[in-house]
Structure 1
Amino acid sequence: MSQENNLEWKNQINIPNKDVRVQTDDITGFERQEFDQFPLNRELLMSIYEAGFEKASPIQQQSIPAIIEHHHCIARSKNGTGKTAAFVIPLLENIYKLHKENKNLKSSVNALVLVPTRELAMQTVQVIRTLSKHMQSIGVMLSCGGNSLRDDIYRLKSMDINIVVGTPGRLLDLTQRAVLDLSNCSMFMVDEADKMLNNDFRPVLENLLHMMNLQNIQICLFSATFPKSVKSFIDKYMADDLKEVNLMEGSDELTLKGITQFYCFVEEKQKLHCLNTLFSKLNINQCIIFCNSISRVELLTKKILELGVSCFYSHSKMPIEERNRVFHNFRKGEIRTLVCTDLLTRGIDISTVNVVINFDFPKSAETYLHRIGRSGRFGHLGLAINLVNWEDRFNLFKIEQVLNTEIKPIPNKIEDDLYVYNEEILQSIPKPFETRIEETQTYLNSKNQLVDDGYSKINSSVTNNIFVPPKNQQ
């Protein structure tokens, strides 16, 4: 593509202001290629640049050519390094070429994208729509359990759908009802592959694969971690013409470099005091607080609201409409603090989240890795704070060893330059509204299963001292 032509089409699009936030060498420590250097069609490039993408991240730089060349692909890199775009961009390019070669395929499903949760499916659909903005012939559809089955059937029968993004159970149901026809599907993309190929999901994925032409299918697996259990799937379906992209090879530390990790050692009944102190001391853009159970999520939300702090919550047992609304509003920045279960640990990419708090410390290194990866996305800065009690101390040490990372005692003052960025973004996040406190409180008060937890009452004065003994204290 000549430089003159380059300037001509770039002048026709609305390229957003450059993101000036500091990035770590997880992203910048490589010679990065501009997207117009890839063999991508003009309409796709216009959408990419309008989305604010300038140069490919390392995972994108290696995955895009491999997928465009129709190799099977397994790609591994840290959370928050651009894995979704790494498969969406070549997927859209391949569909563009497919339709150019055979116009009859415009009315059939050409690709499946499988993800473990509704929230990740919604986000992936949004990425596809954003990056196919100028590609008029691409039809994408979201299909998850909880969606109206009748609506899904109507869309598949009455609209030209080329990409179906969804959770495995619903997609299998649609194929078994002979509504979702996979005979012309040539791309099978699996995000969060470590989760998707566990014992719960793998049989469903294999059933879907066997409804396609296995001689003509391209399989791509993306994840931050690939346990040994994935190998048998790769050997069975992907051994021929496999391209491996592993940006974790030779890397000892699995956590993102931009995330600073601290722990606060507190008694269980003092956790709320500690959280209140953090609210008063931290410069929070947006924050996700994780709990280990649904009941703990609802109870903590109630306690936070009693402090006069606006927050919402999300978990898998909520009504679908409420869950969708909360996720949508959090993405838009209308909610500053979100309390949730591990429902939102995987793949969720909200660039304005700069603080993650583990109110309940996770049991496994894998869960910890995915939780804290909700901040510090794409090489930016973030903060992870862990509230640990006496029973958690050995698990804290174990997770440090497994991830080869350091979780430091929390200091009296956390410097802003560790996690605060771009004052303009900070100002763009709406301040908490009293009406939102009342809205969430009303919803919680309608749930009669909430019981008192024995947490200490919070006084009007903030507790400013957080006791942090050595991790190895016996």
Structure 2
Amino acid sequence: MSAHDNEDLIDYEEEEDVQLQETAAADAAAPADGANGDQKDDKKGSYVGIHSTGFRDFLLKPELLRAITDCGFEHPSEVQQATIPQAILGLDVLVQAKSGMGKTAVFVLSTLQQIDPVDGDVGVVVMCHTRELAYQIRNEYARFSKYMPNVRTHVVFGGTDAKVDSEIFKSKEKCPHIVVATPGRLNAYVRDKVVRLGAVKHFVLDECDKMLDAVDMRRDIQEIFRACPHGKQVMMFSATLSQEVRPICKKFMQNPLEIFVDDETKLTLHGLQQYYVKLQENEKNRKLNDLLDSLEFNQVVIFVKSVHRANELNRLLNECNFPSVQIHGSLPQPERIRRYKEFKDFEKRILVATDIFGRGIDIERVNIVVNYDMPDSPDSYLHRVGRAGRFGTTGLAITFASSGEDAEVMDKIQERFEVNIEEMPEEIDQRSKIGFLRFALICSVMSHKREEIIFKWMLFTVNRNVLVLPTELASQAGPGEHKERLGTYCALKCLTQTASRSIAGAEAADNDNRHAYESHVPSKEDVSRGQMNLYLDMTGGFRSLFPWADSQSMSAALHHRTASLYGC
């Protein structure tokens, strides 16, 4: 591969953001844009979109609805309700919404809804600032286009084989209709005429503020933009859009629909517990060790400020019997992708990362973020802690403060987002602030006898916030057994006598009955009067012991059984 192909346009220094000093002056020279921006700002947050009760109300293609159902999604998030109905009409959109609320699905579904694939033509260009995020977006397209076999997607970033990419783009039968890329590599291909963008109809920037703030990346984006037709749809998304960046974004657009949160205080995630720990620098390792020992977590991300500290902390954690993996920009691209997949596939539960992992990466099992080193700004803090509590789930963020500078940043964070971050107490209640779930349902993959054992154990387990199945039960189930039967249970706030009745009924159940215990599920009345709190963390408890089980199928079964059992 030539040196030209290896342009380091993505692995710029993670710890140093290149700020555009000339931005304010350039934007001030564009009164038309400024006037429009002011007019829009007066109305920001007023657009509420269509109050849809489900994705079907968007009138999406049947293939998309089928894929959405397979993923276990039913109700769109607030940003999806506000944006998708307009985006599928081809409007330019500029969206700022908090992390973890489904911004990626907005442009994935909107472009798939509108795409009319033509062999040999690239119709959609999606750009982001890191390889890991590009890889993730490609996977999201694959997930939602699973019933659209004629739509091809390809990912392009620094380090991929230029010869292979060239063969793909020059073949009419293989040329992708959707390209997900980092700007540096894609612009190199455009300059070399490997990729032709004359048929592009949709131009998307994810984490647009990060890309437009970096001079080199912004230049690449502008050149790619000019290589596309004038009439294309432009969509831009981020969790943080400063007043300086917004006018820059709008210069790429024509009368965009702007969807912003009403105020910056709403950028913090609902249900996210946030604490700080005041300590000395030399006390961080011991405190982190104590936290990992005492907290119940599915997966945890630990953020540090430099590559060297990531290497050293990862080594220390492994020496202390905390198997972890690290990701930073100095790693070769194949190794970064391998480690990212390893963490996403739940092969590792602890990740040490620099801020390269702080934006856009969506891993549903992460429920704890530790800022081992204080972020350098409130924006960086927001993106970091957004890794926990994705899409409305509950998460925990713990930040170490070891200096006066750290205390100043913490004050800025609290002032910016109008949030009170308290010092971490001796014990943390990790239950959801909205209360226990109305039910805890487990879809198991075990034989009838093992179902009975687990059912008994569930009903008699009390005073636990998170229910984790005993390891010995996991050893009794093999990967092939999930094809043999599916057991479904439900237990929530049961009275002791309800549990006893359920167990008695279970023991008398016919072994050949596939759903032998469904008639013994506690009623709504039992639930409302219940005194036993059973809370099952499916992702952390069940899935960690049975990683070979299909999580999407479990999610779909969970929703289906909830609706049929309780009519909700």
1:398 and 2:412 matched: yes
Shift of 1:172: 0.2
Shift of 1:39: 2.0
The separation in 1 between residues aligned to 2:246 and 2:323, in whole angstroms, is: 45
Question: What CA RMSD, in Å, does the superposition of the two structures yield over aligned residues?
Answer: 1.6
Aligned mate of 2:245, from 223, 230, 253:
230
Structure 2 length-normalised TM: 0.67
Could you tell me whether the CA contact under 8 Å between 2:187 and 2:224 is conserved in 1? yes
Could you tell me whether the CA contact under 8 Å between 1:330 and 1:336 is conserved in 2? yes
Shift of 1:235: 4.2
Match for residue 414 of structure 1? 428
Match for residue 58 of structure 1? 78
Match for residue 344 of structure 2? 331
Aligned mate of 1:94, from 91, 94, 114:
114
Once the two structures are overlaid, the 10-residue window that deviates more, 328-337 or 248-257, is 248-257
Q: Secondary structure at the match of 1:252?
A: helix
Match for residue 139 of structure 1? 152
The AA in structure 1 aligned to 2:243 is K
Could you tell me whether the CA contact under 8 Å between 1:198 and 1:229 is conserved in 2? no
Aligned mate of 1:152, from 127, 149, 165:
165
Match for residue 87 of structure 2? 67
The AA in structure 2 aligned to 1:209 is F
Could you tell me whether the CA contact under 8 Å between 2:265 and 2:416 is conserved in 1? no
Could you tell me whether the CA contact under 8 Å between 2:153 and 2:180 is conserved in 1? yes
The separation in 2 between residues aligned to 1:294 and 1:250, in whole angstroms, is: 34
Match for residue 6 of structure 2? none
Match for residue 241 of structure 1? 255
Match for residue 389 of structure 2? 376
Match for residue 112 of structure 1? 125
Query: Cα deviation per residue 1:146-185 (whole Å; 9 max; x = unaligned)?
Result: 1111121121122131000010000000101101010001
Kindly name which structure, 1 or 2, has the bigger radius of gyration based on alpha carbons.
Answer: 2
Q: Secondary structure at the match of 2:155?
A: strand
Unaligned runs of 5+ in 2: 1-49, 434-465, 467-534, 546-568
The separation in 1 between residues aligned to 2:536 and 2:413, in whole angstroms, is: 32
Q: Secondary structure at the match of 2:425?
A: coil
Could you tell me whether the CA contact under 8 Å between 1:336 and 1:429 is conserved in 2? no
Query: Cα deviation per residue 1:205-256 (whole Å; 9 max; x = unaligned)?
Result: 1111111111x11110111111223333344331x3321222x114634210
Shift of 1:403: 2.1
Q: Secondary structure at the match of 2:193?
A: coil
Q: Secondary structure at the match of 1:197?
A: helix
Match for residue 441 of structure 1? none
The separation in 2 between residues aligned to 1:322 and 1:251, in whole angstroms, is: 37
Query: Cα deviation per residue 1:107-126 (whole Å; 9 max; x = unaligned)?
Result: 31001000010111011000
The AA in structure 2 aligned to 1:305 is N
Match for residue 506 of structure 2? none
Aligned mate of 1:49, from 69, 93, 97:
69
- The change in CA–CA distance for 1:235 and 1:374 in structure 2 (over 3 A counts) is closer
The AA in structure 2 aligned to 1:369 is L
Query: Cα deviation per residue 1:368-415 (whole Å; 9 max; x = unaligned)?
Result: 100000001111100000111123112211221122222111011011
The separation in 2 between residues aligned to 1:280 and 1:265, in whole angstroms, is: 19
1:310 and 2:319 matched: no
The separation in 2 between residues aligned to 1:369 and 1:205, in whole angstroms, is: 25
Match for residue 208 of structure 2? 193
Structure 1 length-normalised TM: 0.80
Aligned mate of 1:176, from 169, 179, 191:
191
The separation in 2 between residues aligned to 1:401 and 1:228, in whole angstroms, is: 18
The separation in 2 between residues aligned to 1:297 and 1:224, in whole angstroms, is: 25
Shift of 1:32: 4.4
Match for residue 537 of structure 2? 423
Could you tell me whether the CA contact under 8 Å between 2:205 and 2:236 is conserved in 1? yes
5 Å-filtered alignment, 1:152-301, equals 152-158=165-171, 159-200=174-215, 201-214=217-230, 216-238=231-253, 240-246=254-260, 248-250=261-263, 252-301=265-314
Could you tell me whether the CA contact under 8 Å between 1:32 and 1:57 is conserved in 2? no
The AA in structure 1 aligned to 2:541 is Q
The AA in structure 1 aligned to 2:218 is R
Could you tell me whether the CA contact under 8 Å between 2:264 and 2:416 is conserved in 1? no
- The change in CA–CA distance for 1:390 and 1:234 in structure 2 (over 3 A counts) is closer
Shift of 1:308: 1.4
Could you tell me whether the CA contact under 8 Å between 1:57 and 1:81 is conserved in 2? yes
The separation in 1 between residues aligned to 2:376 and 2:263, in whole angstroms, is: 26
Could you tell me whether the CA contact under 8 Å between 2:264 and 2:417 is conserved in 1? no
The separation in 2 between residues aligned to 1:251 and 1:228, in whole angstroms, is: 12
Match for residue 27 of structure 1? none
The separation in 2 between residues aligned to 1:355 and 1:41, in whole angstroms, is: 37
The separation in 1 between residues aligned to 2:214 and 2:119, in whole angstroms, is: 35
Q: Which aligned runs of 4 or more in structure 1 are off by greater than 6 angstroms? A: none
The separation in 2 between residues aligned to 1:422 and 1:198, in whole angstroms, is: 43
Could you tell me whether the CA contact under 8 Å between 2:304 and 2:353 is conserved in 1? yes
Could you tell me whether the CA contact under 8 Å between 1:116 and 1:167 is conserved in 2? yes
Could you tell me whether the CA contact under 8 Å between 1:63 and 1:87 is conserved in 2? no
Shift of 1:301: 0.8
Query: Cα deviation per residue 1:424-451 (whole Å; 9 max; x = unaligned)?
Result: 22124547xxxxxxxxxxxxxxxxxxxx
The AA in structure 1 aligned to 2:428 is I
5 Å-filtered alignment, 1:114-129, equals 114-129=127-142
Q: Secondary structure at the match of 2:267?
A: coil
Could you tell me whether the CA contact under 8 Å between 1:288 and 1:356 is conserved in 2? yes
Unaligned runs of 5+ in 1: 1-29, 100-104, 432-474
The separation in 2 between residues aligned to 1:146 and 1:285, in whole angstroms, is: 32
The separation in 1 between residues aligned to 2:322 and 2:379, in whole angstroms, is: 30
Could you tell me whether the CA contact under 8 Å between 2:158 and 2:333 is conserved in 1? no
5 Å-filtered alignment, 1:322-361, equals 322-361=335-374
Q: Secondary structure at the match of 2:132?
A: helix
The AA in structure 1 aligned to 2:140 is V
The AA in structure 2 aligned to 1:232 is P
Could you tell me whether the CA contact under 8 Å between 1:254 and 1:404 is conserved in 2? no
The separation in 1 between residues aligned to 2:370 and 2:203, in whole angstroms, is: 35
Shift of 1:344: 0.7
The separation in 2 between residues aligned to 1:430 and 1:310, in whole angstroms, is: 14
Q: Secondary structure at the match of 2:337?
A: helix
Match for residue 461 of structure 1? none
Once the two structures are overlaid, the 10-residue window that deviates more, 366-375 or 52-61, is 52-61
Aligned mate of 1:35, from 55, 63, 66:
55
Once the two structures are overlaid, the 10-residue window that deviates more, 395-404 or 369-378, is 395-404
The AA in structure 1 aligned to 2:53 is Q
Counting aligned pairs with the same residue, the percent is 34
The separation in 1 between residues aligned to 2:352 and 2:214, in whole angstroms, is: 28
The AA in structure 1 aligned to 2:270 is K
